[in-house]
Amino acid sequence: MKAHVAALVIPFHYDMPFPDAAEAVNADRFEKAEPAADRCFEHIRTLVAHASEPHTIGRMWKMTQRGRHAYGLPNNHRSTLTCNSKAGTWTFAVTNVELYLFETGTGFLVHHIEFSGAADARSFTEGLYALKKIAGYGNTIRYERRLSKTEAEMQSFSFAAAASEAVEPFAGRFFDGNGSTPAEAIVFSGALLDVNTKEAGAEEFAADVLFRLRRAYREAYKPVSAHRSEERDEFVIRPFENSRFGVSLEGMANVVTRTGDPETDAFFEGAYFHQLKGTYLYLYILALHQKYALVRLSKLAAGLQGELGGSRGSLRAQSDAIDALKQSCIRFMLRSSYHQVTYNTHHSDVYELIRRRLRIEELMLEINESLHALAALTAIVEQALERKEEAAKREREEAFHRKITWITALFLPLTVVCGLFGMELDLIQKASGSVWPFLVVSLVAYSLTYLLFRVRFRAGTDA
């Protein structure tokens, strides 16, 4: 293997407002930077920028030397670390660390890796498999830190611990692992194989390396031949005779072979790899941002379902939350979901391949369906709440009417008797000296009233 490119991409999310998160980045550990994105449209190239462009959706920083020291990396970006794992030992350097933050509440830590002893493709793929297991797999990473000209000590390093500390200022959480510590990284890689495209077996060898690199698979994994067939794999394209790209959910890879033409081989060994580390990686980050922004929105939509309450106030809050989520989705579609990003055919084809493999359109459809389902569920809960409120209102009205009925039953007979004995009739005048007529009439009036209300009560109960 004549040359290689490798990067470990660790996605995360945060809830802090984007300007506050950008302000919280430690300026002593990360310095402002701009992505190297050649041949992209101007508005695409400045999607990630520190200038206040109206269309800018993210910012990028590079780790400083002080940042490297603070996070446990060697001060010199060329200093090597040694990884000991179950599968073997690898020596590598972390040449650069980049931090991306996007307004969608997602971000990425990108560790650029350069292997020292990866002279063959097998060692390269095995090394990437070991390093992507940033938490676990029995990995131990150590390097020699110079204390003085004559003194040195062995220092341990952990990608997981460094990543957790890097996102701590803006309360970042990871999509995998336990949230506070990442488990695996996404692998971006490229390899220039020291074989000629026209040699016997070169095509099969390159296809096998591409399969393992984009999946970050070990040699011990034995996939079926159909999975390594370029003709059957819709997520592999060949923009050039000697160059092929492959994308999976675990990563993205490019494999190049020699052609025997000095000018062509010189291009792929020089300027091409510069584009791979610059433009192609930038386009991959933009597509990954789309995926993980939609995953985060999907998670928020799922959380809203669990917050459905049984009160008018909670339903209003739910409706407001759904409206806010809809606005976030619309804002994402307008500002982050781009199909046309470059005027270069090869870059455009690779970008579309990445979007298809990451299932961006499917995720957008899933979010849309989730929002419709949430709105329908909220409407159902609201209707149930309205029925409950109407039943409670009827109960209150019936209780009020019962009270009025009992008050009427108490005072109506008394009113009738008082009215009757207040008349100037001879019979009444003759009985005015005795209380018994009053008591008898009152008893009759109350008995009739009792019978009347009892019959009415039974009729209401039977109804």
Number of Cα atoms under 13 Å in the Cβ half of residue 367: 26
CA angle (176, 179, 180) in 5-degree steps = 130
* Tokens matching residue 168: 């701590």
DSSP string computed for 241-273: TTEEEEE-SSEEEEEEEE-S-HHHHHHHHTHHH
Beta bridge partners of residue 4, listed in sequence order: 191
Widest CA span in the chain? 141
> Which helix (H) or strand (E) is 223 found in, with range?
none
Which amino acid is located at 446 in the chain? Y
Say if CB 282 and CB 391 are below 8 A apart: no
Would you write out the chain's pLDDT as a tens digit for each of its 463 residues? 788 999 999 999 999 999 999 999 999 999 999 998 888 999 999 999 988 788 899 999 999 999 999 999 998 899 999 999 887 889 999 999 999 999 999 999 999 999 986 568 888 998 999 999 887 677 899 998 877 777 888 999 999 999 999 999 998 999 987 888 999 999 999 999 988 888 888 888 898 899 989 988 877 777 666 666 666 678 899 988 899 999 999 999 999 999 989 899 888 888 888 889 999 999 999 999 999 999 999 888 877 765 555 555 666 777 777 788 888 888 999 999 999 999 999 999 999 999 999 999 999 898 888 878 877 777 777 777 778 878 888 888 888 887 887 777 777 777 777 776 666 666 666 656 666 666 777 777 777 777 776 766 665 555 5
Strands 106-115 and 81-85, bridge-based pairing: unpaired
Q: How many CB atoms lie within 10 A of CB 86?
A: 10
